[in-house]
Structure 1
Amino acid sequence: MIEYSNILYCSDFSEEAEMAFHHAVDFCQRYGAKLHLLHVLHSGYKYMRHIVDEYVEEDKGEETVDEEIMSKAETDLKARYGDRLEECNQAVFEVRVGVPFVEIVRYAREHNVDFIVMGASGSSELDKQTFGSTVENVARRAHCHVMAIRNPELAFKLPG
């Protein structure tokens, strides 16, 4: 029998992430699992640091993200989802800074997550073009199952 005890829901506040939330809560209820809600603030600088280190003097300020932004993101995460978690056994909110797929995989490993639920496509087309699909990268690198929730209205239309 399949058992899930730690479910990670990843939100970028997109429409598909909202749809994924309902599935994450359903799985949380079904298995009596702890639900982890994660939002990653993208930091292209952090991702590219290894490339620019040899050419640009390190700027300590680049490594520090404004605490107000982190706090606002966590407040938004709790405001959006907090009052809809009564069916969940336990919920944890976290905001991180970095490359989304890296931070999602890192969080999943650190917290022994056994199931990740996320929207099939995110809110930023530019990020997808620059860094690739977050969900694709998570699915390839995660140690656990990954479920990508697609909005049926955005489904590929077959020609003909």
Structure 2
Amino acid sequence: MYQDVLIPTDGSDGTRQSITHGLTIADRFDATIHALSIVPEGPLGTLQSDAATPAAHRAVDRIEAEASRGGAEAVTAVEQGVPHEEILEYADDHDIDMIIMGTQGRTGLDRLLVGSVTERVVRMADVPVVTVRLTDEIQIDDADDAERIARATLTADVEELEADDITLLEKPHRISAVWTVSLETDSETVQVHVDALSGEARVER
């Protein structure tokens, strides 16, 4: 029934639940996940910074990693343009069977923009659109807290590893309610993913 499922993402916390739902549906129907992020142009482009494009790539890479972990096939794309128009065009061009979207962004203006994009897609799409709200509150909202949890997790994961032997490679960043903390030891470089909702952490090698 559903062979290609599209998950538009801006990397905000509000996309967390839509990713979870999308991966569940993909698993149920053995569907391909399409992760799409839009860097706005035109009137919305003035709201973007130079970090917008790298952030968009991190957002789709996050979905690809989650899909791969669950054994699902994933396709990623980053486009520029008017968000709802690009989402609808992508859906048409790639024969998408279902679109799964979050209904809220980070805070304030982001929240309004994401809600507005979702509303337009719901009204104009030719395929089913599933909308999902982020129902849980963010518990880990500080990069220092995420780093602390990541260091403790890695220390517990590696026998005889001391906290002083761990180097932070870059400032932690949060994508779709998950902190990514890049750490280095004498023997390896890892990423620790810290769930901003629960505080649970997982080491990725």
TM (norm. structure 1) is 0.70
Asked if residue 6 in structure 1 is aligned to residue 17 in structure 2, the reply is: no
Residue aligning to 1:122 = 105
Could you tell me which amino acid in structure 1 is paired with residue 25 of structure 2? F
Higher helix share: 1
Could you report, residue by residue, the CA deviation over 1:50-78 in whole angstroms, capped at 9, with x for unpaired residues? Answer: xxxxxxxxxxxxxxxx9x964x2454135
Structure ID, larger Rg = 2
**Which residue number in structure 2 is paired with residue 17 of structure 1?**
15
Pairing 1:81–2:81 present: no
Please state whether the residue corresponding to 1:85 is helix, strand or coil. Answer: helix
- Ranked by relative contact order (alpha carbons within 8 Å, sequence separation 6 or more), the top structure is 1
Over 3 Å counting, the alpha-carbon distance change for 1:81 and 1:46 in structure 2 is closer
Counterpart-to-counterpart distance in 1, 2:117 and 2:41? 14
Over aligned residue pairs, what C-alpha RMSD do you find?
2.7
Residue 148 of structure 1 aligns to a residue whose secondary structure is: strand
Taking the aligned partners of 1:131 and 1:29, their CA distance within structure 2 comes to 26
- Quickly say closer, same or farther: Cα 1:144–1:89, change in 2 above 3 A: same
Taking a change above 3 Å as real, the CA distance of residues 113 and 88 of structure 1, as seen in their structure-2 partners, is farther
Query: Which stretches in structure 2 are left out of the alignment for 5+ residues?
Result: 138-205
1:1-160 paired onto structure 2 within 5 Å? 3-45=1-43, 70=53, 72-73=54-55, 75-86=57-68, 87-123=70-106, 125-126=108-109, 133-153=116-136
State how far apart, in whole Å, the 1-side matches of 2:2 and 2:82 are.
26
1:136 partner SS:
helix
Q: Residue 8 of structure 1 contacts residue 38 of structure 1 at CA under 8 Å; is this kept in 2?
A: yes
Match of 1:122, SS state, is: coil
User: What are the Cα deviations for residues 110-129 of structure 1, in whole angstroms up to 9, with x where unaligned?
Assistant: 10101000101234743676
Residues 10 and 38, structure 2, Cα contact 8 Å, conserved in 1: yes
How many percent of aligned residue pairs carry the same amino acid?
30
Per-residue deviation, 1:89: 3.6
Distance 1:136 1:69 in 2: 22
Please tell me whether the aligned partners of residues 7 and 36 of structure 1 are also in contact (alpha carbons under 8 angstroms).
Answer: yes
Farther-moved stretch of structure 1 (125-134 vs 115-124): 125-134
- SS of the residue corresponding to residue 92 of structure 1 reads strand
Higher fraction of strand: 2
The change in CA–CA distance for 1:118 and 1:151 in structure 2 (over 3 A counts) is same
Q: Normalization by structure 2: what TM-score?
A: 0.56
Contact 2:38/2:56 (8 A) holds in 1: no
